[in-house]
């Protein structure tokens, strides 16, 4: 049975999200999550998913959401980031069905200082739920990994309880993703925090599963946002096996992978690292840096190829250059280049041809 018989096309919510992640775990593949900052990037991701016959996760960060609404807007109280996230969500909802792929619509890292952004999105979910019987988003990430473990878990419990009636998925982070995210600079963080312990996973699993089953854990195994010189990042996805075994033992279940795990900092990872992570129950891998670069590279190549036609309104023979500087032309090159990198991720994670 293909995935298209299990979940519908378009934005998934509630039980469908659980069905998708369970199906992925059962069939040993994961779904890539791409950060987007514009409708152009969203369309590129959807086009790639359609052509690769893959489900896909589209996610927006707080900064990405602010950009989506417009950097010219005031972001006091996260107003622009809330507005942008809602606008992006509506764009995805409006077009996803026509691309005929199942889409998980997700919001990325939300540190404590950005909490009003999270609350604003949940309010939008509640309003949408009142009208349509389902939330606006499929899932949200709450990233209180900078706080104490108890504080982190308590915050997740609070929001999971609020989201449970709408069956919104919650992704939480424990341990720390190195590098940078939304102005949180984790470049100098203590090494031990980059690797989560199995006991921590169990504490989280125990305390969240008592509220609702719709949650996943982004456990740190050396992950870093961004791409660095080879050798600088030490990823240990094999550690994830220990988490699964520990929870399996505590639960006394036959399920080899009781925990839904998330892989942050997917860019620059080797095919082997990705394979090992998926083998150990990772169902979602985030990719931003590599697709950002791919998008840019499309423009770079286009510019180099057509440099002489991109210097003014008219060329040296006074012929119009309109066909070269029209944003639909060079942004399309960006989209096609991004599409290629997105499709590479479907292949790496095994989600291609699962529909
Ligand atoms: O984890 C990510 C977004 O949350 C993406 O990380 P990369 O930019 O390293 O791919
Ligand atoms: O958290 C990491 C993602 O790559 C989002 O990045 P951003 O905060 O620069 O939008
Ligand atoms: Zn984080
Ligand atoms: Zn991340």
Residues 16-35: pLDDT tens digits? 999 999 999 999 999 999 99
**Could you tell me if 222 and 194 are in contact, meaning their C-beta atoms sit under 8 angstroms apart?**
yes
Q: For the chain, how big is the Rg over CA atoms in Å? A: 20
Domains in the chain, start-ordered, CATH in brackets?
A: 3-290+343-349 (3.20.20.70)
In whole angstroms, what is the distance from residue 119 CA to residue 140 CA? Answer: 11
Q: Which residues line ligand 2 (CB under 6 A)?
A: 35, 61, 63-64, 108-109, 181-182, 225, 288
- Rounded mean pLDDT, 197-205: 96
Angle at CA of residue 84, ends 83 and 85, nearest 5°: 95
Answer yes or no: is the C-beta of 343 below 6 A from any ligand 1 atom.
Answer: no
Q: Within its chain, how far is the Cα of 313 from the centroid?
A: 39
Work out the percent of the chain whose per-residue pLDDT is above 70. Answer: 97
CB–CB of 88/57 below 8 Å? no
> What distances in angstroms separate CA 125 from CA 19, 141, 186, 214, 346, one per listed residue?
20, 14, 30, 16, 29
Testing ligand 2's pocket by substitution, the residue of 34, 35, 285 carrying the most ligand atoms inside 8 A of its CB is 35
Atom of ligand 1 nearest to the CA of 267: 10
Ligand 1: residue of 108, 216, 222, 288 to mutate (most ligand atoms within 8 A of CB) is 288
Reported ipTM: the value is 0.96
| Phi-psi region at 10: left, alpha or beta (left = phi > 0; alpha = psi -120 to 50) | left
Res. 228: pLDDT tops 90? no
CA–CA separation, 138 and 169 (whole Å)? 6
- Phi, psi at residue 31, to the nearest 5°? -115, 130
Return the structure tokens found at 276. Answer: 């090992």
Over residues 108-113, mean pLDDT: 98
Q: What share of the chain in percent tops pLDDT 90?
A: 91
d(C-alpha 54, C-alpha 312), whole Å: 41
Q: Is the pLDDT of residue 180 over 70?
A: no
pTM, two decimals, is: 0.96
- What is the mean predicted confidence (pLDDT) over 240-259? 97
> 45-87 pLDDT, tens per residue?
999 999 999 999 999 999 999 999 999 999 999 999 999 999 9
Catalytic entry in 108, 288, 290, 348? 108
Nearest-CA neighbor of 284 among 334, 331, 350? 350
pLDDT of res. 300 = 98
Ligand 1: atom nearest CA of 291 is: 10
Residue in 91, 82, 83, 102 with CA at minimum distance from that of residue 41? 91
Ligand that lies nearest to the alpha carbon of residue 193, given by its number in the listed order: 3
> 92-128: b or e for each residue (b if 16 or more CB lie within 10 Å)?
bbeebeebebbbbbbbbbbbbebebbbbbbbebbbeb
Q: Whose CA is nearest to atom 2 of ligand 2?
A: 181
Across 124-152, average pLDDT: 98
Best probe residue, ligand 2, of 36, 288, 292, 293 (max atoms within 8 Å of C-beta): 288
Tell me the CB-side half-sphere exposure of residue 193, using CA atoms within 13 A.
Answer: 16
pLDDT at position 125:
99
Q: How far is the CA of 64 from the centre of ligand 1 (A)?
A: 13
């Amino acid at each position: 049975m293909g995935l298209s018989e299990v979940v519908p096309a378009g934005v998934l919510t509630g039980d469908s999200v659980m069905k998708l992640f369970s199906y992925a775990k059962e069939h040993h593949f994961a779904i890539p999550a791409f950060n987007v900052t514009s409708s152009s990037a969203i369309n590129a991701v959807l086009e790639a998913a359609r052509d690769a016959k893959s489900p896909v996760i589209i996610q927006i960060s707080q900064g990405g959401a602010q950009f989506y609404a417009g950097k010219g807007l005031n972001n006091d109280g996260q107003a622009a980031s809330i507005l942008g996230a809602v606008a992006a969500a509506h764009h995805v909802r409006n077009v996803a069905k026509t691309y005929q792929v199942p889409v998980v619509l997700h919001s990325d890292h939300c540190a404590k200082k950005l909490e009003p952004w999270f609350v604003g999105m949940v309010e939008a979910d509640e309003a949408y739920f009142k009208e349509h019987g389902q939330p606006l988003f499929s899932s949200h990430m709450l990233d209180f990994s900078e706080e104490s473990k108890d504080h982190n878990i308590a915050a997740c419990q609070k929001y999971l309880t609020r989201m449970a009636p709408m069956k919104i998925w919650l992704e939480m982070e424990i341990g720390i993703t190195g590098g940078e995210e939304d102005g949180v600079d984790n470049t100098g963080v203590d090494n031990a925090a980059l690797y989560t312990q199995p006991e921590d996973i169990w504490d989280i699993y125990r305390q969240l599963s008592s509220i609702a089953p719709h949650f996943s854990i982004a456990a740190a195994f050396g992950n870093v946002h961004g791409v660095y010189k080879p050798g600088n990042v030490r990823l240990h996805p094999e550690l994830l096996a220990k988490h699964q075994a520990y929870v399996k033992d505590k639960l006394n279940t036959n399920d080899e992978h009781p925990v839904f795990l998330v892989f942050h900092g997917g860019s620059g990872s080797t095919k082997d690292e990705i394979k090992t992570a998926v083998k150990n129950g990772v169902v979602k891998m985030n990719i931003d840096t590599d697709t950002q670069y791919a998008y840019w590279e499309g423009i770079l190549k286009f510019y180099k190829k057509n440099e002489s036609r991109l210097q003014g309104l008219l060329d040296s023979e006074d012929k119009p250059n309109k066909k070269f500087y029209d944003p639909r032309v060079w942004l399309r090159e960006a989209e096609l280049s991004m599409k290629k990198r997105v499709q590479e991720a479907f292949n790496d994670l095994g989600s291609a041809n699962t529909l």
